[in-house]
Chain A
């Protein structure tokens, strides 16, 4: 669309224009509503908080918003692919490339990750008897850095420069020679900034779990969600630095004229190695926490201790370790040779063993249990067959020889959506329905939750099951159209119908949140007849929830207390000092600064880079000059003097 302004002709794509109108409209609407309800103090409270529950809520809220955005992109993709040689709106060619790139990038980094990290923030400290995360201030910083990165990637669309080289940003396509627009710079800086936030979050999780458990809460008594969080945090700590450096090198290629990943001497394959050494652990990073959620949900809703606790722990640890030894299965067709392919095919298949153990353990946990099919349990039950299908196609893809046929087809697309949606997204929904009372003090509506579940799950299978066949019929991924003779129309058409069903299911979820806030069913501290410590504290979880500190003597301590002690947990004699909660504008300010700093690189404004760089460094000085430990020690000294 073109228009005249100041005697110059401007061009703006209609999709961008519409997005601006929608964004500004919603923004003004939200401002108006906040103002009318006089909720500015709540906003301020959340922006400056360092409390783990509130930060968890912030993660979940932003993840839901990005889920809607990337979900709309999915619907656009499906609409464009609904019929052969379609011409939907503007989404052909490069626009389509941008749509699937941001869909993938946002779904992985700004939906799956924050959904899980958000749930970890809400639940893990409460599950292990910690008063808060070990470093509350750094926790806030992690969130705001994540959000800064997410906003960078999301704003690229509004600057008509979306990343367009796929979520894997394969070189040399992602180098400046082939994609000189700012799009992939947004990708680099967005992921870099949020990646730093994620690494800090992982450090925080590890320290919390290692050092902040309640007395008697041995590692071998921890709930499985806490265990999966610990393993995930280690995976993040080891995998994300590789991404950091991969992006760092790509940044030099794009901005400073080096040619690591392209040109005569450069090596595009090296990018693939770096990306997948990070990328494969990444997919376990986003599925292992979901395993943890399902373990807790299934155990609670079957009124049974989880079956094979030790083997569950061993299985996630093994999956975590093997996760680092399989990255080449994304590169079977690169030509690294039969020996390399065979080794990586075998390690990949090996992962099916611990995963299978987990599946059987979940089934045995349900066996002879008193099963209550609440919404969280429905998601868990829906997960098991769905994920098994994803696992089976995973083993098929692991067969290197066969992968030459499957590679880069819709078969792969179907496979990873079965694992990512079937595992991560269903897991996150289960977790949200399960812990929602702990966040706000009331449940989400069960009826709407069930409608959400059935629409989403059935829609999911209608969407992705036919894609296996489209892939086997030879439909490559990332194409924006196909012909009637390709013999894949019917699969694509069915798939599109299913996608809209998922979309409607998600609207039910959003509607459910709205309705539940509108007229909340207050449900007390323990709505699910829970087994673990988080259900022993008030809902919503207060600051310093464990007062007095419980003494843990067994797995499922609350359940044991209900059975043998009339619901009263034994009280511990000693407990360690709690982390120091503060309220501070610094984390959000720093993230804003980092965001501007990134933009100055994306748009090559040298003087701004220098000014903002100095300000970023100055922030570290500000932090150390105002830190809460020093303040507290000072107060302690004054106290001693009195």
Chain B
């Protein structure tokens, strides 16, 4: 890899890191909103809404996907094509499973009457966790495109694209850790 390429890739890395700082502030504001309005004066309370089982399953899916994308990253560095595919596809599957369970969770809450407008705890829960879910969904599309790119574009460029994606994916994961800790945690454990 010649230096002129890494110059421009360095720009991208810094730019994307700055973008993630912006995102972090957005999520921080939503967390603050959640703390402010939870628990609400009117029911339901978080404890009667949340269900441990789905939270555990979704967390296992998403947290382990950070490991699989890391595996893809390492495989790429070692030049193992098969490893990249394994890492990427398993991340994609885990992310899709996460989305499935998350949709199921929201659907279940909604069918129990715990909707967006029920009280402010639920409102702030949905706009925070929903925004995170939107990020996961976006990430799934991104990964699909990476899969499309991998056999088609120059290897060095693919590596850069994948690297930027891993930053994004780890970020989405870190936000989920915060969500477990501060949104679900106090009312489940």
Contacts and interface: CB of A to CB of B under 8 A. Distances in A.
Contacts of A206: 14, 18
Given A207-B18, A258-B120, A630-B154, A576 B29 contact: no
Interface string B13-57: 011001101110110011001001100111000000000000000
Interface residues of A, number: 49
A270 B30 contact: no
A620 B141 CA distance: 9
B163 interface: no
Contacts of B4: 576-577
A585 interface: no
B5 A240 contact: no
Contacts of B138: 617
B26 A244 contact: yes
B156 interface: yes
A629 B157 contact: yes
Nearest to B156: A633
Contacts of A252: 116, 123, 127
Interface string A206-248: 1100111000000000000000000000000110111011101
B135 interface: no
A241 B153 contact: no
B25 A242 contact: yes
Contact of A257 (B22, B117, B119, B157): B117
A274 B120 contact: no
Given A134-B15, A577-B7, A617-B141, A260 B153 contact: no
B128 to A, nearest CB: 10
Contacts of A568: none
Contacts of B112: none
Contacts of A317: none
B68 interface: no
Given A252-B127, A260-B123, A203 B10 contact: no
Chain B interface size band reads 35 or more
Contact of B19 (A203, A258, A617, A624): A203
A206 B11 CA distance: 10
Contacts of B25: 238, 241-242
A145 to B, nearest CB: 14
Nearest to B121: A265
Nearest to A258: B123
A580 B7 CA distance: 12
Contacts of B124: 260
B132 interface: no
A178 interface: no
Contacts of A237: 18, 21-22
Given A256-B116, A624-B145, A265 B41 contact: yes
B122 to A, nearest CB: 9
The 8 closest A-B pairs by CB, nearest first: A577-B4, A241-B25, A245-B29, A258-B123, A633-B154, A241-B26, A257-B117, A203-B18
Interface of B: 3-5, 7-8, 10-11, 14-15, 18-19, 21-23, 25-26, 29-30, 33, 36-37, 40-42, 116-117, 119-120, 123-124, 127, 131, 138, 141-142, 145, 149, 153-154, 156-157, 160-161
5 contacts: A135-B15, A207-B15, A242-B29, A257-B117, A621-B145
